[in-house]
Amino acid sequence: MGDRVEVIAPAGPPPAPQLAAGLDVLRSWGLDVRCAADPERHHPTLPYLAGTDAERAAQLQKAWCDPGNAAVVCARGGYGALRILDLLDWTAMAAAGPKVFTGSSDITALHAVLGPACGLVTMFTPLVASDAMAEPVAQENMRRMLFEREPTLHGGPSARTLVGGTAAGPTVGGTLSLIVSTLGVAGVPAPPDGSIVLLEDITEAPYRIDHFLTHLLRSGWFDTVAGVVLGSWLKCGKPERVHDVMVDRLGGLGIPVVEEFGFGHAEGQLSVPLGASVVLDADTPTLTFVR
């Protein structure tokens, strides 16, 4: 039997059928799967949360601090990860030793703190209880990122250069709207100097994407960024309008920018690391890991 992983629900409640199917995928990879996520557990008055804040924080902390777990895997996004950031004992979690952490979407809020606090690379991957785990391409991309990470990650078939050039630095980012929500939150660090920023989102109109990027720009969040890699913008309006926003807001930064790299909520999504040292070649476009 392979490594033990524990599946948790730190944000929204996972749908039972999708959770069961996702757990089967993990087991098919030879993993010893434990599941703390419970489709029947909800907050007593806020049903969009998978239990109270204290319950969800305790579930994550217990799974992370269990020495038998090699990985902690998030079942669902939705909303709620922001609410538990202040309830976690980050010192104890850092002392618990290295583990793999996976998830995306609302889980961006946890990536933003957990990776830096524990000195780890975390994985922006499909959520276990999501439609993506039923897609063979997304499944295989996640499996390869976790078990067979190749030296270079190539952009998907729609990837293209917005601003050419190369840059090197640690990857940061995730879902754009969640990154904006963490601005000014205690314990959430700014991007390290020379970062390669990865951004994507879902169901945000072009004017809202403009708003989010403008807020990040005016706050100084992009001031020391070395490159930008844009993923998918599923259900975010006409792709050409999203492209126009990116050109207008990011095209003048004087740094390499790639769009439609392939990670995010879209079908066949790539899994990408956060906190990894990479070289971005916007002309290829590729991310090459620095060992």
Q: What is the dihedral of CA 86, 220, 162, 175, to 10 degrees?
A: 10
Torsion of CA 98, 100, 105, 109, to 10 degrees: -10
Q: Where are the alpha helices (DSSP H) in the chain?
A: 16-28, 53-65, 90-95, 108-118, 136-147, 176-181, 206-219, 239-250
Task: State the catalytic residue, choosing from 6, 43, 55, 105.
Answer: 105
Cis peptide before 285 (omega within 30 of 0): yes
Supply the DSSP symbol for 270. B
Which one is catalytic: 6, 55, 200, 260?
A: 200
Concerning whether 111 is annotated as a catalytic residue, the answer is: no
Q: Measure the CA angle with vertex 198, ends 258 and 238; round to 5°.
A: 60
Q: Which of 111, 195, 260, 265 is labelled catalytic?
A: 265
- Single out the residue of 186, 192, 280, 185 nearest to residue 230, CA to CA: 280
Q: Is 200 a catalytic residue?
A: yes
Enumerate the H helices of 119-205 as residue ranges: 136-147, 176-181
* CA 122 – CA 272 distance, rounded (Å): 9
∠ CA(116), CA(72), CA(279), 5° rounding? 45
Which residues are known catalytic residues? 105, 200, 265
